[in-house]
A and B are shown apart, each in its own frame.
Chain A
């Protein structure tokens, strides 16, 4: 099943790396890119996003704050914080918000594991 994934990262390089991994792992899924929280919330309001991958360290609203705001709109959306900043507080806050933690530098294995879990959760929901 095809899914619509939102990638939120202020870095173009990080979005390119993510898009490239998707071309290898899930070439038929739809990918939407957002550069900050406002952009991301607009994309969610105006399209049928089912999965979100969110960078942590962004100017303005950080990734965890954004996930909290998305959670309020969509309590079930599979989401992940994507960061090299693997501090306990960040990982446990992500967990509290029901989001996964995917480490940067991004590997295909880590992304594939998150996406398989996300696809499974979405299938169960239907």
Chain B
């Protein structure tokens, strides 16, 4: 069953989007594992269409309200933003686990912004490139930028169109084994992109049986 209501997803659409995103994030986890040298554990993905305020509440849930994120915009048949989000403080631990314990604290503080952007770039590219390949839809990705703030900062938009409030919010938690590092990957798509994505996913499902 499919639905034409952009603010809702049918079971098949939700399943397909979760599975495709899961492929992307699983590849990304394998890249992260190589960088940190420790196993990366992933949750089962959740896909919801929600208002931005609700998305902000979801990312703050159980976390400190201060968050750090690496953001990359993507453009193609559907456009949006991919975010790698950490509670503040944990991003620092992540950088430390990548550069190694031999570096003094001051060096890591200096490095944090750059290392975080680079880590985010590898992880988010690995995730988005897998999604683009699976769907056979090329996507252009912007350079990564680091943003800091609460959940609302992560999801605020300059566009104030009537439909601008709804987003497809997809998130997967990850934990780095034996280190106190938790974070999550979120993909955000606005309404016109949700409609395009639904069409692409429908074509993708139809093509499986051909």
Interface residues of B in 176-210 (CB under 8 A from A): 205, 208-209
By the criterion CB–CB under 8 Å, are B33 and A87 in contact? Answer: yes
- Which residues of the partner chain A approach B205 to less than 8 Å between Cβ atoms? 13, 16
- Which residues of the partner chain B approach A58 to less than 8 Å between Cβ atoms? 44
- Which residues of the partner chain A approach B39 to less than 8 Å between Cβ atoms? 87-90
- CB of B18 within 8 A of chain A? yes
- Which residues of the partner chain B approach A56 to less than 8 Å between Cβ atoms? 26
- CB of B96 within 8 A of chain A? no
We find that the number of chain A residues with CB closer than 8 angstroms to chain B is: 22
Binding site for B on A (CB under 8 A): 10-14, 16-17, 20, 56-59, 83-90, 104-105
Binding site for A on B (CB under 8 A): 11-12, 15-16, 18-20, 22-24, 26-27, 29-30, 33, 39-40, 42, 44, 130, 133-134, 205, 208-209
Q: A12-B15, A16-B209, A20-B209 are in contact. Are A87 and B30 (CB under 8 A)?
A: yes
- Which residues of the partner chain B approach A104 to less than 8 Å between Cβ atoms? 23, 26
Known contacts A20-B208, A58-B44, A89-B33; 6 further A-B pairs (Cβ under 8 A): A11-B15, A16-B209, A59-B44, A85-B26, A87-B29, A104-B23
A90 CA / B27 CA spacing, docked (Å)? 13
Q: Which residue of A lies closest to B12 (CB)?
A: A12
